[in-house]
Amino acid sequence: MRIDVGVATDIGRVREVNEDSYLVDAPLYAVADGMGGHRGGDVASSLALEIVEAAFREGKGSLADQVREANRAVHSRSEADQAVSGMGTTLTAVMVEDATARFAHVGDSRAYLLRAGDLRQVTNDHTLVARMVRAGEITPEEAAVHPHRNVVTRVIGTEETVAVDEDTLPLLDGDRLLLCSDGLTGMVAEDQIQAILEAEPDPQRAADRMVKAANRAGGIDNITVLVLDALSEDGDPPPGQLPSPSRWPSLKRLIAGAVIAVVVIVAVLFGVRAYVDRQWYVGESDGKVAVFQGIPAHPLGITLADVDTQTEIAAADVVAIEVYRDLPDGISAENRADAFAIVEQMRADVTDAASPGTGDGGGNGGGAA
Ligand code: MG
């Protein structure tokens, strides 16, 4: 499975510093939204992602273990350096390998999955309002405008240890993942996010459009967006050339299926032809007895026989003799010589019938069985 990535980050229209950071280092992708006075937030988010990346490269445990290591590093720095004391960051990371997405998550940045027209939030927000929604105290609509909607209940770096949410998701060809900071989701409604993700096949342009939408809506926070397209490896088109890249592989399968079907049909027809060409029968052509190569059948109106030899014997005279009454339907023969033997028998029988009492061959159907 191949991942096509689009990424955009923007300071927004109100903040003086962009404290968001992102990581794109296949197969690892992450966003982090830092917080803390001065430059603390900036330091927290970038340091956390550096540590996750390094721990991943060193193969240290699971993705959640790597996030916990980032927590320890940010916390230590915060303790050691008065200038960044109390800093923290959200961290939403995904590692994509073998068509499986493994998530590790702390805070209120989000991961979404767009699959088959359905946009689903993969992560749970670690916020006061999300907790209130889960407890049934407020509705999601009330949470979106709640005065304490920005209160984050779990972050990287403020405590010595942190609980990391983990999730695993099998990916399908055409799946689109979105990682983003709350500068997007706080400004742009989910149905609008989904509309952009569905309208823009190119992941980079989709990311850029979402940042633009957040800024148009006010841009009161830093905005960071990662769009990850999961595509099967077998020759997908370059992004942006077709209205829906996710449909393309299934179209290819359809074409491949059609080609196989045609090959099978042709093979069957060749087999039928070879069989037909070995068959012989005696039948009627233009009112005369004739030897045919093929079979006396017309499936779907297709003629499966050719006249080999037409005789001068009137078909009506032959059919008048009881044993040959099936002549119009074809009297089968073993081979060409056998077909001619049947014809000679017919000729003799017709002659006998025309001059009764001159012989004893009448009624003998020969090879007419
Ligand atoms: Mg933010």
How much distance in Å is there from the Cα of 301 to the middle of ligand 1? 73
Residue ranges of domains in the chain: 2-231, 245-277, 280-354
Task: Return d(Cα 12, Cα 20) in angstroms, integer.
Answer: 11
According to the CATH classification, is domain 2-231 in 3.90.1150.10? no
Choose the CATH number for 280-354 among 3.30.70, 2.60.40, 3.30.40, 2.20.28.
Answer: 3.30.70
How much distance in Å is there from the Cα of 221 to the middle of ligand 1? 6
H-helix or E-strand spanning residue 204: helix 203-216
How much distance in Å is there from the Cα of 281 to the middle of ligand 1? 87
- Could you tell me the CA-to-CA distances from 345 to 169, 292, 293, 320, 368 in Å, in that order? 79, 16, 19, 14, 9
pLDDT recorded at residue 304: 84
How much distance in Å is there from the Cα of 247 to the middle of ligand 1? 34
How much distance in Å is there from the Cα of 182 to the middle of ligand 1? 5
How much distance in Å is there from the Cα of 181 to the middle of ligand 1? 6
Task: Return d(Cα 149, Cα 127) in angstroms, integer.
Answer: 7
Long-range contacts of range 288-292, CB-CB < 8 Å, 24 or more positions apart? 288/312, 288/313, 288/314, 288/315, 289/313, 289/314, 289/315, 289/318, 289/327, 289/343, 289/346, 291/333, 291/336, 291/339, 291/340, 291/343, 292/330, 292/339
How much distance in Å is there from the Cα of 222 to the middle of ligand 1? 6
How much distance in Å is there from the Cα of 142 to the middle of ligand 1? 19
How much distance in Å is there from the Cα of 317 to the middle of ligand 1? 101
pTM: 0.64
How much distance in Å is there from the Cα of 53 to the middle of ligand 1? 21
How much distance in Å is there from the Cα of 302 to the middle of ligand 1? 73
How much distance in Å is there from the Cα of 99 to the middle of ligand 1? 30
How much distance in Å is there from the Cα of 211 to the middle of ligand 1? 13
How much distance in Å is there from the Cα of 34 to the middle of ligand 1? 7
Render each residue's pLDDT in the chain as its tens digit; 369 residues.
899 999 999 999 999 999 999 999 999 999 999 998 778 999 999 999 999 999 999 999 999 999 999 999 999 999 999 999 999 999 999 999 999 999 999 999 999 999 999 999 999 999 999 999 999 999 988 998 898 888 999 999 999 999 999 999 999 999 999 999 999 999 999 999 999 999 999 999 999 999 999 999 999 999 999 999 999 876 555 444 444 445 556 677 788 888 888 888 887 877 877 788 888 999 999 999 999 998 888 777 777 888 999 999 999 999 999 889 889 989 988 889 999 999 999 999 999 988 865 545 444 444 444
